[in-house]
Each structure stands twice: as C-alpha cells, then as structure tokens.
Structure 1
Amino acid sequence: MNAKQTAERQSRIAVVTGAGSGVGRAVTEELLRAGWSVALAGRREETLRETGALVPGGSWMALPTDVSREQDVNALFAATVERFGRVDLLFNNAGTFGPGGVPVEELAYDAWRHVVDTNLNGAFLCARAAYRQMKEQDPQGGRIINNGSISAHAPRPHSAAYTATKHALTGLTKALSLDGRPYRIAVGQIDIGNAATDMTKAMKSGALQANGDVVPEPVMDVADVARTVRHMAELPLEANVQFATVLATTMPYVGRG
C-alpha cells in the first residue's frame, strides 16, 4: 500500500449517490474540501469526474452506478471498500422528479416505476449495502443521510410519484434509524426546498401552485445545503440529526394549499 492509499484509508470515507450534478455535486465538493475521501456514484462517469476535479488533490473515485440495479449498488460498495477500506457515510441522494406537470390520470405506469425504482428502491439498495458494511467493519458503525424533500411533507401539483417516494423515504429513514441503534449506525434525513440546481431552474420563472397560479419562487444557494449535510455527517455517532429542513426562506412551503 502506497502513502496515498494509506492516507485514504485513515480519512473519513463517504459514498455520495447522484454525485454528478446538483445537490450531490455540492455535497461532494464540500466533503472533499473538508478532507473526506469520496466515492462518487452516478449514471455518467464524465460528470462524476467533473465533480471530483472541482477539488484539486482531493481523494475520490468515480463509479458509474445505476442505483436501481442491485448488482451496480453491490459493485459500488465493494469497490469503495477495496479502495478506501471502510464506509463512514452514505449520502443517499440519487433521485428523479419524473415527468413534470403530468396529472395522475395521465401518468404512465413505466414513468411511475422509474421514479419509484430510483428514489425509493435505489435508496433502499444503497442503505442496505451501507448497513451491511457498517455493521461488520471495525470500528463498527457509520452514518446514512437520506435526501428527502419538502415533498416528504407537502406535495406540489402533479407530483404523485415523486411525492409518494419522498413520503416513503421518511418511513425508511425512521426504520433504518431504529434498526441501526445496536450497531452504531446513525440515520437521518435532510429535506430540501428550492436549492438552486438544474432541477429548480424553472422555479425562478414560475412554478405551478396549488390554486392553479404560476408564480416565480425564490431559491437558495446549494452550498448552504452542502454545509448542512457536512454538519450532520461530522457529528459523533452518539448524536444524530434525525430530520433537518433547509429551504429558501421565503418559498411558499409553509403556505402551500
């Protein structure tokens, strides 16, 4: 083992899914700057490498992964442990909104399944793989942070698939948190509202509201989300942020409906 590999194995190790863009990219950059070693997972290797290159000298590896495929997820964690020796953090971030603006009666089942497979089944597969590793490694334990959403609390119009998966993710977070107690596995969830990413670009020009109006909505710097995730991640395992809500201060969330 060379000096770099030894240093990597002595640092804190994170797996970030959906690391090629948006919140996943911002969180990866924040962790790398804080000295974490990061396994970047996502569908496109090119964008993963672009993320890793944001922090010169950072310790990272890019692992093309479809989180809805069990074999991909198993390979992701096997490669991470082979390179870095353990897993201290999973940021379960990969997700998709699905077809926007489609009423439920027009929502194709294939589109529904794609959202469920990515947002919920993918989160489960990654959490299960992380759980298995964290339970058996020495020292035992680690942390899982699930990326929920404001939609885990209140839906937007025409968002049945996305909203259903985010509500389900809250239940998964609670169950994992309870089951992880004997093994020093802390599990929490961050619910994000209107972070400035490609996914939220349209909000500044207008988003459909519950009363049928289309109204521009404020957004916040995605770096503020990344700093919150890092705070959650760096707590001792004896402390846990069970749920955190980080949102643009004046977005209409608390007044939806």
Structure 2
Amino acid sequence: MRKTDSTDQEHRPAPGIALVTGAGSGIGRAVALALTGAGWTVVLAGRSPGTLDETAARAAAAGAPGTAATLPVPTDVSDPQAVDALFATVRERYGRLDLLFNNAGTFGPGGVPLDELPYAAWRRVLDTNLTGTFLCAQAAFRLMRDQDPQGGRIINNGSISAHAPRPDSVAYTTTKHGMTGLTKSLSLDGRPYRIACGQIDIGNASTDMTEQTRRGVPQANGERMAEPVMDVADVARTVLHMAELPLEANIQFATVMATAMPYIGRG
C-alpha cells in the first residue's frame, strides 16, 4: 500500500459540507457514514425521517472526527419545492456546499414487460431517478457558482445499467443512460465556475434493494441466476476518493462492481 506523504496532504482539500440524497439506507447511508468518518459535515436527504435519523445516529455512534456532524432533512427529490427548501436549509445553515452525492433512486416495478409497464410507474421512476437528480444538481450548481470560494463537486450515482440493461428494466435503464448525459453536461457547464462532476456506475453492491440478486434475477438468455455481490463499503470508499480530489482533478466515470457479476459479456 502506498504511503501518504506530505504532498498528498497538501493537495487534498479539507473536508467540507456535503449533501447525500437517498441517505436513509443502502449506498446513500454507506457514503454518508464514510464522509462523516473522514470529517465531512453531511446533510442527509431522503423521504423517510426515521431512516435519516438512524443514519445520523450511526454516524454519531461511530464518533465522527473533528466538527463532522449530520443534519437530516426529509426531502422528496422529485418535488421542485421540496428541493428548493432543502438547498435553502443548506445555504442558511452552512452558507456553502462542497459536495453533492446524487444517489436517490428507485428500480420501479420488477419483472414487468415493456408493453405492460403502467404510465404511472414509468413517470415515478423518471421523476425520482432523473428529474430528481437534475433538480438537486441545478440547485447545487447555483449555490456552488455563487459561493466564496467558488466551486464544488457533484457525483452522480449511475449504474451498470447506464451501459447495459437487464431484462424488463426499460424505465430504470432509460434514467441511467440519461444520467450519463446529465453528468457530461454538468461537467462542461461547470468548468467556468470550478464545479467538477463525475459519475460512479455501480454493479451489485449488497443492500436491501439488491437482496433479490443473491436469490436469482433474470438474465438476457431467459434463465434466472443468482449473482455475486460486493460490500457496499467498497462503493463508499470509491465515492470518498472521488470527493477528496482537489477541484483541479476529476474522476469523470468510475465503475465499481462485484468482480464476477455477469456484466462483461452480458447477453
């Protein structure tokens, strides 16, 4: 393992203010805990106050160093007014935002053929995964552009499905392909304001949402097969590494996946 030298310390920015959406469980919770463990102050956004409070309690129990703390703010990211209220709270409480991890998302109904997918289900997935990500990114962009010192970092949670779909996943896969375009546009439009944007594409992290993966999921050849998973902490460590880069450097796209999952060669 490479030792950390003085040059590393000089170029690594000090932990700041972060906002994690979908912070009440799974990947969002793991990333929030990794950030607080590294000294970041983290705003926890999600639909369920109870699960956000649990994330905050776990961070406190872990003994986050320095001034690291959490602030739960119940938020439905698909609601523009709720997102405005969330970022108004960030601005009033902390005066700035250094990192947004856009993580909130839903798979939608599983195993529903494309021709049978209800319109309401399609809209729910798009409104949460893509529109919600845009609304949070837009609000973060404004805050990061106007604050002093200027700039910040946005990390979007893409997915392996940003590259290759699973069967019967049209809504989810569409949003994740759209996420890649959003990430690229944010990267380009953020350049003049020192706003960096990257995307982490995750495959088979072990969370409640992916529990079915262990038992068996449909494959492109029509079979059903259990797939290997990886520890969600491996995702959190990757996001933390992306977050700790100086704004002069950016990981544009990163793929973190269970080594033996059927992605390379899928189909």
- Is TM (by shorter chain) over 0.5? yes
Within 2, Cα distance between the matches of 1:148 and 1:251? 17
Equivalent positions of 1:231-246 (< 5 A) are 231-246=241-256
The reply to whether residue 209 of structure 1 matches residue 219 of structure 2 is yes
Q: What amino acid is aligned across from residue 229 of structure 1 in structure 2? A: V
How far apart are 1:85 and its partner, in Å? 1.9
Q: What amino acid is aligned across from residue 222 of structure 2 in structure 1? A: G
1:109 match:
119
Deviations 1:163-190 (CA, angstroms, capped at 9, x unpaired): 0000000000000000000000000000
Q: What amino acid is aligned across from residue 34 of structure 2 in structure 1? A: E
Q: What amino acid is aligned across from residue 79 of structure 1 in structure 2? A: T
Equivalent positions of 1:68-217 (< 5 A) are 68-217=78-227
How far apart are 1:84 and its partner, in Å? 1.7
How far apart are 1:159 and its partner, in Å? 0.1
How far apart are 1:11 and its partner, in Å? 5.0
Deviations 1:203-237 (CA, angstroms, capped at 9, x unpaired): 11111000011011000000000000000001000
Within 2, Cα distance between the matches of 1:220 and 1:101? 23
**Tell me, which stretches of 5 or more residues in structure 1 are unaligned?**
1-9
CA contact (8 A) 2:15 2:38 kept: no
> After the TM superposition, which parts of structure 1 deviate over 3 Å for at least 4 consecutive aligned residues?
none
Where 1:155 maps in the other structure, the secondary structure is coil
Where 1:172 maps in the other structure, the secondary structure is helix
Match of 2:46 among 42, 45, 50: 42
Where 2:247 maps in the other structure, the secondary structure is coil
Where 1:138 maps in the other structure, the secondary structure is coil
Where 1:41 maps in the other structure, the secondary structure is strand
How far apart are 1:80 and its partner, in Å? 1.2
The reply to whether residue 24 of structure 1 matches residue 34 of structure 2 is no
2:8 match:
none
1:14 match:
18
**Percent of matched pairs sharing the same residue:** 71
CA contact (8 A) 2:59 2:70 kept: no
Give the superposed CA RMSD: 0.9
**Tell me, which stretches of 5 or more residues in structure 2 are unaligned?**
1-13
Within 1, Cα distance between the matches of 2:59 and 2:48? 19
Aligned pairs, how many?
Answer: 248
1:7 match:
none
